Amino acid sequence: MSVKEIETAITRLSTTDLAELVAWLENYHAETWDKQIEEDLDSGRLDTLLAKVDKEYEDGFGQPI
């Protein structure tokens, strides 16, 4: 199925079904993002960035939220 076919199918959904799809997509996107972050952490791809953040915090650049 192509993206265009999916787009066309989405335009035919009822309001209720569209809301359900949007909720599912938001959840799916969040899960995918979380998985990517975990993979990046496990592989060490974020080590340099995290070290920089730690250094800035230690140097007093952190602010409470």
Residue 63 domain flag: no
C-alpha distances (whole Å) from 46 to each of 14, 36, 39, 42 are 42, 11, 10, 9
Measured CA angle at 27 (ends 26, 33), to 5 deg: 90
| pLDDT at residue 62 in the model | 82
Provide the whole-model pTM.
0.68
Q: Where are the beta strands (DSSP E) in 1-65?
A: none
Residue 13 domain flag: yes
22-60 confidence digits (pLDDT tens): 999 999 999 999 999 999 999 999 999 999 999 999 999
Q: Cα(first)–Cα(last) distance of the chain, in Å?
A: 45
Residue 25 domain flag: yes
Query: For residue 31, what are the domain limits?
Result: 3-58
